[in-house]
Amino acid sequence: MNTLQSIVESIWDQVDVVLGWRVGYDPLHPVPTFVRDRKDIASLIWNPLCAPNLSVFLAKFFRTASQRDKKIGILAKGCDSRSLTALIQEGLVDRDRLLIVGLTCPGTVDPDALAAARTQSGPITAVAFANGMVEITSADGVECVPLDRVIERRCQRCRHAHPVLYDVVLHDFEPRPVPKDPFAHVEALENQSLEARKAFWLKELERCLRCYACRNACPLCVCQDHCLAESRTPKWVTQKDTVADKFLFHMIHTLHLAGRCTECGECERACPMKIPVGLLKEKTAQIAMDLWHYESGTDPGARPPLLSYDASVTGI
């Protein structure tokens, strides 16, 4: 039976580095890791707590890789593999230099939902997943929480729990079933009146800190070093703490991702204020599907609709 470690061992001679996750300050909080030494393969982990989309590191990583004759290995859930595909489509990542370890995904855990579901508070010593349950061992004992009860919103609407692009795949978990209506949250908001929607976004965006965590966590937001949100020439957005400026930033961010967003939900997961900014991108994804029957990040050979603009076309 393949394990994560046996798979990475089998590809090790082909790669310069492997991007994955390891245990953080406790087993409930995995963190991204870059494995460059064979002895560190044992530190790699994969479970529903491994939430960060590792493809966010790739665009910069390709420019600084030390051994260009070797590939870059990366662990990828379904949503992560869509982001990889979109980066390949846009020429930001070279598919020939990637070695993708695909991971079937049961959904990732919402830390806030898990904290609310727990009854114990002692230091965590171990976490395990079996039979649809999260089993947490702490100084207080062992407690079990149903995984479905603590799944992130983005995973409840995921249509690609099985990776869309990979070289080798690990079947450690049963993929989450495809939801009947992945845009149910967007439609529920749209069914409200214009005034109600305006009030919703004013209330939500008023809490925005302009920390840009949503932008920095986005795998497709690759021009953040020259982001117009911080540009002074031209000056599109001021640094004033007004809802109008916050709203303008989020609209610009959303429109830059129109037809490109792979719905990985990292923007919403990374937001320290828990603002549902993913809804904005989900709406553009829904429009792309309705207008062009295009689902971003599912076909490496496809040309994204908004990258096929032809200035010679008249009548636009």
Mean pLDDT of 107-111: 96
Question: In this structure, how many other beta carbons lie within 10 angstroms of the beta carbon of residue 11?
Answer: 16
% of residues, the chain, pLDDT over 70: 95
Q: Each residue of 158-217: pLDDT tens digit?
A: 999 999 999 999 998 999 899 999 999 999 999 999 999 999 999 999 999 999 999 999
Find, among 237, 303, 224, 206, the residue nearest to 267 by Cα: 224
Distances from the Cα of 129 to the Cα of 20, 134, 197, 268, 293, angstroms: 19, 5, 39, 25, 37
Q: Tell me the pLDDT of the chain averaged across its residues.
A: 92
Q: Per-residue confidence at 239, pLDDT binned at 50, 70, 90?
A: confident
Write down the pLDDT at residue 67: 59
146 pLDDT above the threshold of 50: yes
Q: Per-residue confidence at 138, pLDDT binned at 50, 70, 90?
A: very high
- What residues contact 9, with CB distance under 8 A and at least 6 apart? 38, 41
225 pLDDT above the threshold of 50: yes
DSSP state of 175: P
Structure tokens at 128: 């395990």
% of residues, the chain, pLDDT over 90: 80
The residue ranges of every structural domain in the chain are 112-150, 183-307
How far apart are alpha carbons 229 and 295 in whole angstroms?
A: 27
Are 108 and 156 within 8 A, CB to CB?
no
How far apart are alpha carbons 171 and 169 in whole angstroms?
A: 6
Distances from the Cα of 109 to the Cα of 1, 154, 177, angstroms: 26, 10, 16
Mean pLDDT of 232-251: 86
Are 179 and 111 within 8 A, CB to CB?
no
Q: Per-residue confidence at 313, pLDDT binned at 50, 70, 90?
A: low
Write down the pLDDT at residue 278: 97
Query: Which region among 17-21, 40-44, 67-71, 268-272 has the lowest average model confidence (pLDDT)?
Result: 67-71
58 pLDDT above the threshold of 80: yes
How far apart are alpha carbons 252 and 272 in whole angstroms?
A: 20
Mean pLDDT of 256-281: 96
Structure tokens at 53: 């989309």
Q: Per-residue confidence at 235, pLDDT binned at 50, 70, 90?
A: confident
Alpha helix stretches (DSSP H) within the chain: 4-11, 58-64, 78-89, 111-117, 153-156, 184-190, 194-205, 213-216, 243-256, 266-270, 278-292
Total-model pTM: 0.91
Q: Per-residue confidence at 129, pLDDT binned at 50, 70, 90?
A: very high
